[in-house]
């Protein structure tokens, strides 16, 4: 095949890493993975065969915590001694520039470890005169924060600060075709269970309202629910959108695991977390970029036995997830 034709068939590298382990296993890294992913804009969970959300889950969901938008904040305020003592040293302050694009604009992010990450263009870098390194993949900004509420509101009272609540939506899906999964078979087994990749695609179809009882010979679309599958009468879907802290996600994950403390019809539940497309980091301090997409997301599938699958997906301008 000639070089131009070959290039027509090429796509940028993307990665989907799938792990499996057990929630109570001493070497399970599920909590570390969640904590390592600092900037989360959307969290969803799906519980098959569930019509009403149990009370403990409901209370965790409605208590996701506020986040704050501070407009026209000079970046040097984040390195002021007073700010560092009041918020950074407590170890639970996260900040990210709002409405900046990682592939076009200067972006800043404050990690709970106290590290300030700046992703700047060439001119800004030369003006700043700081030591840095070029991005592996090629300000006075509006910042988004999450930290202790009342003290932040009073600390930034001279700037325009607004508190926001995460937006929460609940829905019950009826007659949902769900893939059959086996916790030991990450790759699936023909005629017996579906693979983790098929599950990942199916979950995307559910969230995007794709028709699952489609026939593969249809002119419009050949996509169907992966087989083998079962029909669920109902499934509970909850979505939380905002600036969500890893600590809250861990509480949610713990409650989803506790869902199986009593016998349930569901064989598994899922928890999906989307990161910010324009965050300068994905997991820990791994550089994150935006080539044709800024995806950095992960998904848990927790089984009745508390075995789990963890799928982490990143785009072309990203380091491999841990």
* Closest distance to another protein from the beta carbon of 24 (Å): 7
The single-letter DSSP state of residue 88 is G
Kind and range of the H or E run holding 229? strand 229-244
Tell me which residue of 67, 228, 91, 249 sits closest to 152, measured CA to CA: 67
**How long, in residues, is the chain?**
322
The minimum distance between CB 322 and another protein, in angstroms, equals: 10
| Structure tokens, 288 | 């994150």
Interacting residues toward another protein by CB under 8 A: 7-11, 13-22, 24-29, 41-42, 44, 69, 98, 101, 144, 162, 164, 184, 186-187, 196-197, 200-201, 203-205, 207-211, 219-223, 241-242, 272, 274-278, 292-295, 297, 299, 307, 313, 315, 320
Query: Shortest gap between Cβ of 166 and another protein (angstroms)?
Result: 11
Give the sign of the dihedral formed by CA 214, CA 218, CA 224, CA 230: positive
Query: Closer to another protein at the Cβ: 87 or 288?
Result: 288
Tokens of 148: 């202790």
d(CA 136, CA 89): 30
- By beta-carbon proximity to another protein, the closer residue of 45 and 276 is 276
In the complex, the smallest distance separating the C-beta of residue 129 from another protein, rounded to whole angstroms, is: 31
Smallest separation (angstroms) from another protein to the CB of 201: 5
The residue (of 131 and 208) whose beta carbon lies closer to another protein is 208
Q: Least separation, in Å, of the C-beta of 214 and another protein?
A: 9
Nearest to another protein of 79, 163 (CB atom): 163
Closest CB 57 distance from another protein, rounded Å: 20
Q: Minimum CB separation from another protein for residue 190, in Å?
A: 17
CB atoms within 10 A of CB 177: 17
Cα angle 254-256-257, degrees, rounded to a multiple of 5: 65
Residue 102 CA: distances (Å) to CA of 95, 167, 207, 276: 15, 24, 26, 10
User: Which C-beta is closer to another protein: that of 44 or that of 267?
Assistant: 44
Q: Which is nearer to another protein, 126 or 219 (CB)?
A: 219
In contact, 144 and 243? CB cutoff 8 Å:
yes
Question: What's phi and psi for 65, nearest 5 deg?
Answer: 90, 150
The C-alpha atoms of residue 41 and residue 244 are separated, in whole angstroms, by 6
Beta carbon nearer to another protein, 14 or 58: 14
Q: How far is CA 35 from CA 60, 111, 155, 261, 262, in A?
A: 17, 11, 26, 24, 27
Cα distance between residue 162 and residue 309, in whole Å: 38
DSSP 283: B
Please identify, using beta-carbon distances, which residue of 78 and 244 lies nearer to another protein. 244
């Amino acid at each position: 095949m000639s070089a131009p034709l070959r290039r027509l068939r090429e796509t940028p590298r993307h990665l989907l890493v799938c792990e499996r382990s057990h929630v109570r296993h001493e070497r399970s890294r599920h909590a570390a993975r969640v904590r390592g992913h600092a900037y989360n804009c959307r969290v969803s969970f799906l519980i098959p065969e569930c019509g009403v959300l149990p009370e403990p889950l409901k209370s965790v969901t409605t208590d996701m915590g506020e986040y704050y938008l501070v407009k026209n904040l000079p970046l040097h305020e984040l390195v002021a001694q007073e700010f560092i003592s009041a918020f950074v040293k407590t170890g639970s302050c996260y900040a990210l520039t709002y409405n900046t694009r990682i592939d076009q604009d200067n972006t800043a992010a404050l990690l709970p470890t106290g590290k300030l990450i700046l992703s700047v263009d060439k001119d800004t870098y030369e003006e700043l005169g700081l030591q840095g390194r070029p991005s592996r993949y090629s300000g006075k900004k509006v910042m988004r924060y999450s930290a202790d509420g009342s003290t932040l509101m009073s600390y930034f009272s001279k700037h325009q600060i607004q508190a926001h609540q995460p937006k929460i939506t609940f829905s019950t899906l009826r007659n949902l075709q769900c893939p059959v999964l086996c916790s030991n078979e990450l790759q699936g087994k023909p005629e017996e269970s579906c693979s983790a990749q098929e599950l990942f695609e199916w979950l995307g179809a559910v969230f995007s309202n794709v028709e699952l009882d489609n026939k593969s010979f249809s002119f419009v679309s050949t996509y169907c629910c992966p087989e083998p599958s079962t029909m669920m009468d109902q499934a509970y879907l909850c979505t939380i959108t905002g600036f969500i802290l890893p600590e809250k996600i861990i509480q949610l994950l713990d409650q989803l695991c506790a869902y199986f403390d009593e016998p349930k019809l569901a064989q598994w539940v899922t928890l999906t977390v989307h990161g910010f497309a324009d965050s300068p980091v994905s997991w820990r301090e791994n550089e994150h970029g935006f080539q044709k997409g800024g995806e950095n997301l992960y998904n848990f599938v927790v089984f009745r036995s508390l075995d789990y699958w963890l799928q982490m997906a990143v785009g072309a301008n990203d380091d491999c997830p841990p």
